[in-house]
Amino acid sequence: MKNLLSILIVALCFGLLLGGCKKNIKNTNLSEWVDEHDKDKKTFEGLEREGDKFSSQNNLEQAYLLYSKALQLKPKNVDLRVKRGNILFRKKLMEKALVEYQAAEKKEPARRDVNLGLGKVYFAVSDRNLAYQYLQKAQTDGCGYWEADALLGIIHDLRGEPLKGEELFKKAHECAPNNGDILNNLGTSYLLQGRYEDAVDSFLAAIKAGNTKKRVYNNLGLALVKTKHYQDAFEAFKMASDEARAFNNIGHAYYLQQDYKKAIACFEKALTLHPAYYPEAGENLKRAKAALFSKGADEGGPALWNESTQLLLSGN
């Protein structure tokens, strides 16, 4: 009976290890670890470290909260201003991101990450002149700030300077060889220079790198039209939107080649697929028929759906 009682007491002690029978059980190490862990979370370094962890996990709200708590302990810390600005930029809260970057700029105006942040915000809100100024300050010979090169390349393309754009995209590509946005933008520079085969290769490389956005397929379609690979262009335009728009765009290409019969056939097919949804094809059909009748194209020309190359914002 005594043995049974002893067994029950031992069992109870193991079952209630955290609740009872504590006299002979020391939890000093565990207690110290818990105290140190809780203390670490309350320190500046602990809060920042936790914020970094959540940011890397894309838990931006929790990261921002922890950075804000850390900033209360060190209100003049520039690193935290930049990190909060980066999170707000990723959340597309541009005005709030600008406030953070500007607060950091007041303390350390020469910091490249601060200037990169300001440049990205101004680029996102289409203030290209200010974006250009700050992105230039962020540039470096190394790969630490390749985003600045990529965005400056876009600005040069938009300014009608595709040779400079090409140079900057190639520099960024050396640092981020698998970035599909850079490859798309490099293809756009080639397209603007009239180097259509190079443009096709670059857009295909962008898709191979994983950039399967519709605008990349649209750009590929434009380049393929220029190389007169109409069937491949049709497939690319179809990936960019739908079959009706693909027929309209190929019809536009035939129109420019003054092959009005093929243009008419494409526009009619687009209308058959989407008679009410796609009125542009109807207008293009009228132009093509008039051109065929008069044996000459009118000055306006048909509308090409989504003719813009739609440069992508790299690293976003």
192 inside domain:
yes
The CATH number that applies at residue 239 is 1.25.40.10
Instruction: Answer yes or no: is pLDDT of 5 > 80.
Output: no
Answer yes or no: is 205 within a domain. yes
Range of the domain at 252: 169-316
For residue 250, is pLDDT > 80? Answer: yes
Q: How many domains does the chain have?
A: 1
Residue 245 lies in a domain: yes
Q: How many angstroms separate the CA atoms of 114 and 117, rounded?
A: 5
Identify the band that residue 19 occupies on the pLDDT scale cut at 50, 70 and 90: very low
Q: What pTM was computed for the model?
A: 0.76
Would 104 be classed as within a structural domain? no
- Residue matched to tokens 């990450």: 113
In a domain, 27, yes or no: no
Could you tell me which of 47, 42, 79 has the C-alpha nearest to residue 63?
Answer: 47
How would DSSP label each residue in 257-273? TT-HHHHHHHHHHHHHH
**pLDDT tens digits, one per residue of 131-165:** 999 999 999 999 999 999 999 999 999 999 999 99
Q: Is residue 114 part of a domain?
A: no
Q: Is residue 8 in a domain?
A: no
C-alpha 280/C-alpha 267 separation (Å) is 9
pLDDT for the residue numbered 41 = 59
Render 247-307 in DSSP notation, one character per residue: HHHHHHHHHHTT-HHHHHHHHHHHHHH-TTT-HHHHHHHHHHHHHHHHTS--SS-PPPTT-
Examine the pLDDT at 302 and tell me if it is beyond 70.
no
Give the Å distances, CA to CA, from 7 to 3, 4, 11, 22, 59: 6, 5, 6, 17, 49
Tell me what pLDDT residue 282 has: 64
Residue 307: inside a domain: yes
pLDDT at 22 over 50: no
Percentage of the chain lying above the pLDDT 90 cut: 61
pLDDT at 9: 36
Find the range with the poorest average confidence among 153-157, 253-257, 280-284: 280-284
pLDDT of residue 256: 80
Q: Which residue has the higher pLDDT, 217 or 5?
A: 217
C-alpha count within 13 angstroms, C-beta hemisphere, residue 215? 13
Minimum mean pLDDT among 78-92, 137-151, 264-278, 294-308: which range? 294-308
Helix orientation angle between 180-193 and 214-226, rounded to the nearest 10 degrees: 30
Q: Give the per-residue pLDDT at 34.
A: 52
Average pLDDT of every residue of the chain: 83
**Could you read off the pLDDT of 33-90 as tens digits, one per residue?**
555 555 555 799 999 999 999 999 999 999 999 999 999 999 999 999 999 999 999 9
| Range from 12-26, 216-230, 281-295 carrying the lowest mean pLDDT | 12-26
Cβ-based neighbour number of residue 216 at 10 Å: 28
pLDDT in tens, 212-241: 999 999 999 999 999 999 999 989 998 988
The pLDDT value recorded for residue 275 is 73
Which has more pLDDT, 268 or 26? 268
User: What pLDDT score was predicted for residue 316?
Assistant: 38
Residues 9-29: what's their mean pLDDT? 43
Alpha carbons within 13 angstroms on the beta-carbon side of residue 177 total 1
pLDDT interval class at 21 (50, 70, 90): very low
C-alpha distances (whole Å) from 265 to each of 52, 174, 279 are 58, 45, 16
* Percent residues over pLDDT 70 in the chain: 75
Q: What is the DSSP letter of 16?
A: T
